[in-house]
DNA sequence: TATGAATGAGTGTTCATTCAT
DNA sequence: TATGAATGAACACTCATTCAT
């Protein structure tokens, strides 16, 4: 698998879907990936057949295999591209400030902006979380861990700066939950754009992780 | 569908998985459903074949169809049971108090307790959200709306009691996200039990939806 | 098969569908056969499932097997009953006259009357001609040969009496064709009853097998 | 259905089984259809499985679906081809003369010649009359009506020319019955070829529909 | 570069039938 | 007498994939 022509061509994976793709091969490939995202979004990975994918991209079934050696690889390319792009963009934006709270705001805004702009890819990313096995899965999981790590660090900075006591793990994972769940309910007309949503979620989250006498212990159940 | 034995027997659907099932048919059925939950949990609905399900429950492939008229119906029964149980339990517990904050705590604890105790069913519930079509789907979606409605009311009460200004919709949906996402990361040894987790999430969420000068507007991005 | 209880009960087969059936068993059996005729008529033998048949007769699937040891036997009973009844009735009516032409008229009227009165059974008889194999098939085929023989004799009598030269085989088989084909087109409102139809077909057939200068040899092709 | 390769290739349907087929696809397709006719002839449409058909044509089960999108479509192609060929040939031959009686002779000879030369296809055509549903069925039924219409017109011409009073409907349908029934009894050694048979049937039918004092009303029954 | 042709393995579902009760 | 429960084999059809061209 490692050295097949198709693979070596894809050595720069994060550009697979991007407009900076150079060769005709890469451009074609990116187009197919874009169509595949739509199909996976609508039918799920298991529910989508190679025939569906070929139909959607207007390429023959056999032709698909010039660009991807398997359906699994296709999902992998989508997930890898999506993840590395979001991580890359986050990295760039985080450089703009050292303020811990601002960095959390950046984190949330970046995630939601990307999420809403690439809703379908993000659903495929989060919904088809476990289907990739072995090599492909490991690589995507490592990207995911990297993203998680960055966010955890951002939170830890905030915690340290404000001498707070919450669990960063639970906090960051809860934040991811809040944000990743939106593909099940988001409605642009009702919920506004990424800026509005990230302000609301940011408010909830930031207040939530700070101390405040507002939380009456007496109200706790059990 | 009207008068098939399997259907007529299931007139009291919410007991399908419960221990109060009476007849031998119902007991068998519940056992098969329990096995099916495991298989769906591991392979997803599309990825699980009827042969997988039959193997897991130790019944012949054809025999399965004595209990369920289709794979889709099987998923439906699981989802309906899971949803109606969680709603029913929540209703019972909410009756114990009128305190708005306590009721939110109850909501969170109930969800997480049920979630962790029935982790697999809950994943199947939330992950296989869109696969049910037409009648089955409509029924499950209505259960879901009912649950959503209850939670929204609980939040609205709190908002009114405390004269707060957040969006109940975004708040309740964010809360669901936080809670439903845990199937992707929960580790009992690291994260403790439902009580601990719901305390942490409750703290974050309750502080999050209350006013507080803690959130510096200046830190807001964009 | 020969001595199973079900079989021995059916020793007097031609009464299986008739009202003269005595025992409760036979009456039940006749009812099931009547329903089965409907189902075979509509779906064909292969297309009808035992479940269809059980549903139609209101008896459980397993219950059917108390009355018939197999689906094939069921078809056999229907065909045997139908055939022996039509033969029996024909025999009775032919006794009323020795006039060769009248006997042909009787033959046609008997066939069409029975056909239209038992249209469904007759379709099952003629359409599911070849599905019965081995023993069952042999028996029905022998009944059929018997019927054919009677008709052939009637025709031969007419031929001898009128010193005609047509092929009795082709004539009788053509007549059967004319008559048996009606299940594909008969419409009571358009085509009238058996008397009317048998008069028309009788006219065509009887003129057809008699000599007449009407047929211009010159019009013959090839 | 619209743009599948199999469909678009079959735009000129009446050549599907014919030797004038050009492309390799069409030739393969015609071969498969020819094998399918044999299998349907022997087992009936319902009784023949796709596995039987695949075995008969020496192609893998899955491979069959490259040529036909369904078993039903396969039957449809056979029926359409058979019907349109017989209609087409009849049209050609009827052009050769205006003599009403000769045209009836032509009709019979054409039908029987085609029937005997394509006995299996004709049995499949007439025996599997009702299995095609919806679109496919409608198309074949329209072809059938067309054929019926032509024959009815031929008979009406004869009737008018000879001032006869029979029902054309019953006459043409009886004729079809005579002719279509032969698949149940035809034996080439006993019954001779199409020419011989069509002469005999033509004699019976033509005399039959003409007036003649030969038919004694007194012999009529009932 | 791209595809038509082809396939083994698998899909969900139904089949006629059996058997303990 | 009658049935619920159960099954092995088969059903039509689709799957991801390969390969000659």
| Mean pLDDT, residues C77-92 taken together | 95
pLDDT of A106 strictly over 60: yes
Architecture per CATH, domain A5-210, reads as Orthogonal Bundle (1.10)
Which pLDDT value is given to residue A16? 45
| Mean pLDDT, residues D105-119 taken together | 96
d(CA A47, CA A127): 13
Domain ranges of chain D: 5-72, 76-210
The tens digit of pLDDT for each residue in D44-66 reads 999 999 999 999 999 999 999 99
Mean pLDDT of chain B, nearest integer: 88
| Domain B82-209: CATH superfamily, name plus number | Tetracycline Repressor, domain 2 (1.10.357.10)
Q: What is the CATH number of domain B12-72?
A: 1.10.10.60
Top-confidence residue, A199 or D215:
A199
Domain D76-210 has CATH 3.40.50.720: no
Protein residue closest via CA to C1' of E18: C62
Among the residues of chain C, which ranges form H helices? 5-9, 24-47, 50-57, 61-67, 71-94, 100-117, 119-127, 134-162, 168-180, 188-191, 194-209
The tens digit of pLDDT for each residue in B177-192 reads 999 999 999 999 999 9
What are the chain D neighbours of C105 within 8 Å (beta carbons)?
219-221
The tens digit of pLDDT for each residue in A59-72 reads 999 999 999 999 99
Which pLDDT value is given to residue B195? 96
Query: Percent of chain D scored above 90 by pLDDT?
Result: 82
Q: Cβ A195–B222 below 8 Å, yes or no? A: yes
The tens digit of pLDDT for each residue in B28-69 reads 999 999 999 999 999 999 999 999 999 999 999 999 999 999
Which pLDDT value is given to residue D1? 31
Protein residue closest via CA to C1' of F11: D49
D84-93 long-range contacts, CB within 8 A, separation 24+: D84/D13, D84/D14, D84/D143, D85/D14, D85/D17, D85/D18, D85/D114, D86/D110, D86/D111, D86/D114, D86/D147, D87/D143, D87/D146, D87/D147, D87/D150, D88/D14, D89/D114, D90/D147, D90/D150, D91/D150
On chain E, which bases lie within 7 A of the protein's CB atoms? 1-20
Q: What is the DSSP string of chain B?
A: -TT-HHHHHTSSGGGSSSTT--SHHHHHHHHHHHHHHHHHHHHHHHH--HHHHHHHHT--HHHHHHH-S-HHHHHHHHHHHHHHHHHHHHHHHHTT---HHHHHHHHHHHHHHHHHHTHHHHHHHHHT-S---HHHHHHHHHHHHHHHHHHHHHHHHHHHHTT--S-HHHHHHHHHHHHHGGGGT--HHHH--HHHHHHHHHHHHHHHTS--TTS-GGG---
Mean pLDDT of chain D, nearest integer: 88
How many angstroms separate the CA of A71 from the C1' of F17?
A: 10
pLDDT of C211 strictly over 60: yes
Equal CATH topology for B12-72 and B82-209: no
Which pLDDT value is given to residue B217? 52
Q: Which of residues 153-192 of D touch C (CB under 8 A)?
A: 166-167, 169-171, 173-182, 184-185, 190-191
Which pLDDT value is given to residue B178? 97
Cβ-based neighbours of D194, under 8 Å, separated by 6 or more: D109, D112, D113, D115, D116, D117
Please answer whether residues C198 and C109 qualify as being in contact, where contact means their C-beta atoms are separated by less than 8 angstroms: yes
pTM for the whole structure: 0.87
Radius of gyration, alpha carbons of chain A: 20
The tens digit of pLDDT for each residue in B116-130 reads 999 999 999 999 989
| Mean pLDDT, residues B6-19 taken together | 40
The tens digit of pLDDT for each residue in A134-170 reads 889 999 999 999 999 999 999 999 999 999 989 999 9
Which pLDDT value is given to residue C5? 39
The DSSP 8-state label assigned to residue D17 in this structure reads S
Using CA coordinates, name the residue in chain A closest to B214. A207
pLDDT of A23 strictly over 90: no
Residue C131 in 3-state DSSP? coil
End-to-end Cα, chain B, rounded Å: 56
Domain D5-72 has CATH 1.10.10.60: yes
The tens digit of pLDDT for each residue in B88-99 reads 999 999 999 999
């Amino acid at each position: 698998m490692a050295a097949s022509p198709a693979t070596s061509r894809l050595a720069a994976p994060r550009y697979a879907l991007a407009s900076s793709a150079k060769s005709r091969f890469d451009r074609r490939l990116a187009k197919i990936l874009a169509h595949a995202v739509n199909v996976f979004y609508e039918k799920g990975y298991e529910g989508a057949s190679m025939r569906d994918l070929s139909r959607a991209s207007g390429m023959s079934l056999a032709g698909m295999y010039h660009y991807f050696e398997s359906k699994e690889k296709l999902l992998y390319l989508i997930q890898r591209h999506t993840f590395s792009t979001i991580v890359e963009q986050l990295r760039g934006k985080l450089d703009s400030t050292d303020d811990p709270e601002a960095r959390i705001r950046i984190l949330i805004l970046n995630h939601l902006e990307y999420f809403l702009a690439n809703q379908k890819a993000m659903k495929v990313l989060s919904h088809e979380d476990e289907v990739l096995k072995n090599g492909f899965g490991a690589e995507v999981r490592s990207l995911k861990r990297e993203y998680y790590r960055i966010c955890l660090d951002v939170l830890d900075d905030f915690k340290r700066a404000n001498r707070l006591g919450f669990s960063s793990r639970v906090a960051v994972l809860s934040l991811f939950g809040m944000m990743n769940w939106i593909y099940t309910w988001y409605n642009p007309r009702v919920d506004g754009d990424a800026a509005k949503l990230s302000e609301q979620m940011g408010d909830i989250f930031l207040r939530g992780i700070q101390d405040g006498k507002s939380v009456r212990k007496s109200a706790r159940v059990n």
